[in-house]
Chains A and B, each alone.
Chain A
């Protein structure tokens, strides 16, 4: 399904050196694959702006290697067209190390440079799975290689943007997203698919608090209420009902089902930016964390927003109601929070940790959303059995 071009000729181009950042690079920052944050998008050229010469000069605040990577991505595009940098990473990548995700749109395609050290075998399986989910997930056009980077090429869709939500939370396609997730969760598991990437994201987010003096202690406290945070040494009683997928780094049992029977094909990183319209129809994008896991985790981010008081009750009701009405298997219709409680706590910790680490590294105070999530962590800790 996926065509992988020979790495050699591309690696030898005058772009990213195959050794660049390989030895001492920071680990992948785990940035989303996804959609471009339209707020940060910058148009690098007008029509016909596929101009490597113009792009090779590093823009202000943009590291040399990131600029080079962007110009190499532009050259990989099958056709010329207007160039828009949709994402140039955060953290390490934004400081110019170019180890994070970089996404560029060139005409009618989007090129995504995956983080350094992305497993090619896993990515191939995930791309292949996405290619076999027509109408559900966007299928990739090609997988390429640029030096040490894997690059995927996609048809450009029409993303949802923050401007679409200016009028309120209810103006997002919550029902459409919920129905797509319900269908995904009901899809037969593709052979050989790795565990979903959701738990790894949580672990990375909490690790990002390391070395921050000002990190609110309730975030790690709330993390401590998650059964697997104490390591995988807990007895069967402690882990009952969690399933293998709930433990970071734990492989799934050979048959690909956890004891609770809730294992499914899951997106692994769902949020509103993972929806694009292609020909007027909403579809899921970004299979970077696609895998086998507990499907309730795909609902956990909106659940955490709702529980933090951030997401309007009406929008949450529409999302969860549409998921249940579509026969989604992640939660029981009688008491959805039975399945949602644990993953929603996990995502609350992840979102709070990410928001705090981002603000701290930028030298900014916590904004309203971050403070709401830290408050949520405090309540999680208070509600936990002693």
Chain B
């Protein structure tokens, strides 16, 4: 198959169920019907997984609480020695 733009040679790739033709010459990409929509849907799913806020605490939080912005605590991900020591001391 020839590139519709520069007449270069098109190479075929299959990635995650999407059929892509790419031109060896101009690097242009040709998508089949519906594949742009599939790509858009996959990207939205990925973005939700990556950027979605963590689930709120199951039992609420005080008004003065720190924002818990990730998997661990705000500071907890550092696993810093002073914090772990604090878990064990009066």
Contact = CB atoms under 8 A, between A and B. Distances in A.
A310 B89 contact: no
B46 interface: no
Given A312-B72, A313-B57, A367-B80, A272 B65 contact: no
Interface stretch (A6-14, A117-125, A162-170): A162-170
B64 A169 contact: no
Nearest to B58: A317
A118 B90 CA distance: 17
Contacts of B79: 166, 168
Contacts of A345: 62, 64
Contact of A309 (B55, B60, B67): B67
Contacts of B67: 309
Contact of B61 (A165, A307, A312, A380): A307
A169 B76 contact: yes
Nearest to B80: A368
A308 B66 contact: yes
B74 interface: yes
B73 A311 contact: yes
Interface in A96-138: none
Interface string B49-75: 000001101111111111110011111
Given A166-B79, A311-B76, A368-B75, A273 B89 contact: yes
A162 to B, nearest CB: 4
Q: For B60, B85, B87, which residue has the most chain A Cβ atoms within 10 angstroms? A: B87
B88 interface: yes
A305 interface: yes
Interface residues of B, number: 33
Q: How large is the interface on A (under 10, 10 to 19, 20 to 34, 35 or more residues)?
A: 35 or more
B84 A162 contact: yes
A270 B80 CA distance: 21
A316 B72 CA distance: 11
B86 interface: yes
Contacts of A368: 75, 78, 80, 82-83
A376 interface: yes
A35 interface: yes
**Chain A interface secondary structure, helix, strand, loop or mixed?**
helix
Q: For B54, B61, B82, which residue has the most chain A Cβ atoms within 10 angstroms? A: B82
B90 A30 contact: yes
A68 B86 CA distance: 29
A70 interface: no
Contacts of A154: none
Contacts of A308: 65-66, 73-75
Interface stretch (A51-59, A73-81, A336-344): A336-344
Contacts of A312: 71-73, 76
Nearest to B87: A272
B84 A310 contact: no
B88 A306 contact: no
A369 B59 contact: no
B85 to A, nearest CB: 6
Q: For B68, B79, B90, which residue has the most chain A Cβ atoms within 10 angstroms? A: B90
Interface of A: 30-35, 37-39, 160-162, 165-166, 168-169, 172, 201, 269, 271-273, 305-314, 316-317, 320-321, 324, 335-337, 340-341, 344-345, 351, 355, 367-370, 372, 375-376, 379-380, 382-383
30 contacts: A30-B90, A33-B90, A37-B88, A162-B87, A162-B88, A169-B72, A169-B87, A172-B87, A271-B87, A271-B90, A305-B73, A305-B86, A307-B61, A307-B62, A308-B65, A308-B66, A308-B73, A309-B75, A310-B74, A310-B83, A311-B73, A312-B72, A316-B57, A317-B57, A317-B59, A355-B86, A367-B82, A369-B83, A369-B86, A376-B65
Interface pairs A-B: 10 shortest CB-CB: A309-B74, A309-B66, A32-B90, A273-B88, A367-B82, A379-B64, A307-B65, A383-B64, A369-B83, A317-B58
